[in-house]
Amino acid sequence: MSDEKATITVKANGSLRVSGATLIGADGNIIAEGESYSLCRCGQSQNKPFCDGAHRACGFEDDGTHAPT
């Protein structure tokens, strides 16, 4: 088992970059696992839940700064 923690990085005007985590669907099946992958935030991806770059074409804007929780 790795000592590294999973991270999710909010990319300005783009996706959520996930590293070191396994994505599991509602049915319990593994959707993605590996070093890293990007998840859609704009809702326009044709490959949901993954980012396909559609945020550029649709003009998605979010500077990626949010209050800590």
Question: Tell me, what's the pLDDT at 4?
Answer: 76
pLDDT at 66: 86
DSSP lists the bridge partners of residue 50 as 39
pLDDT at 2: 56
Judged by DSSP in three states, 41 sits in coil
What's residue 3's pLDDT? 64
* Predicted confidence (pLDDT) per residue in 10-67, tens digit: 999 999 999 999 999 999 999 999 889 999 999 999 999 999 999 999 999 999 998 8
| Per-residue tokens: 30 | 């593994």
Looking at residue 34, its pLDDT comes to 82
Nearest to 11 by CA among 37, 45, 31, 29: 37
Phi, psi of 12 (to 5 degrees): -55, 130
Residue-level pLDDT at 11: 95
